[in-house]
Amino acid sequence: MTEMAKGSVTHQRLIALLSQEGANFRVVTHEAVGKCEAVSEIRGTALGQGAKALVCKVKGNGVNQHVLAILAADQQADLSQLASHIGGLRASLASPAEVDELTGCVFGAIPPFSFHPKLKLVADPLLFERFDEIAFNAGMLDKSV
């Protein structure tokens, strides 16, 4: 399956959810890029408005949990803080195979929504405190919300 086709199911599911819930959103189609800095420039948004989604694995202390960590694109993930928040001892980024299985997306296209029961979503509140709107990848490298 191509990278574009991979995320199309997630994209459609995301748009359906946002529409169903009456969210005020717009879809932006753009060049297929996966880097936060490049896509924020293309979208015309501040880097900090972007919601970066990282699939992580938290282990230790009896915990073995996949987590979708959402943070502002201009911030670095603190994996030890994430592990502590979930109750584990350590956290690492998930493998490309795990990302594909849990999100149906490639790196750089993951939206800040979890549609998989084994993928727990955790969001940094800072993302919602600095801007009236956020922007994020919509399941495909060439689509943003």
pLDDT computed for residue 52 by the predictor? 96
Q: What is the per-residue pLDDT across 126-145, written as a single tens digit (0 to 9) for each?
A: 999 999 999 999 999 999 99
The 10s digit of each residue's pLDDT in 44-99 is 999 999 999 999 999 999 999 999 999 999 999 999 999 999 999 999 999 999 99
Give the pLDDT of residue 35: 87
For residue 8 the two structure tokens come to 């199309």
Predicted local distance difference test score (pLDDT) of residue 7:
79
Beta strands in the chain (DSSP E): 28-29, 50-60, 63-72, 90-93, 119-123, 135-136, 143-144
Range of the domain at 82: 3-144
pLDDT digits (tens, 9 = 90+) for 17-26: 999 999 999 9
Structural domain count, the chain: 1
Residue 4 has pLDDT above 80, yes or no: no
Tokens of 89: 């001892």
Predicted confidence band of residue 5 (pLDDT cuts 50, 70, 90): low
What CATH number has the domain bearing residue 7?
3.90.960.10
Cα dihedral 31, 37, 43, 49 in deg (nearest 10): 150
**Confidence check: pLDDT of 16 > 90:** yes
Q: What distance in Å separates the CA atoms of residue 97 and residue 46, rounded to the nearest whole number?
A: 31
- pLDDT higher than threshold 80 for residue 1: no
Give residue 28's pLDDT.
Answer: 94
pTM summary value: 0.92
pLDDT of residue 33: 85
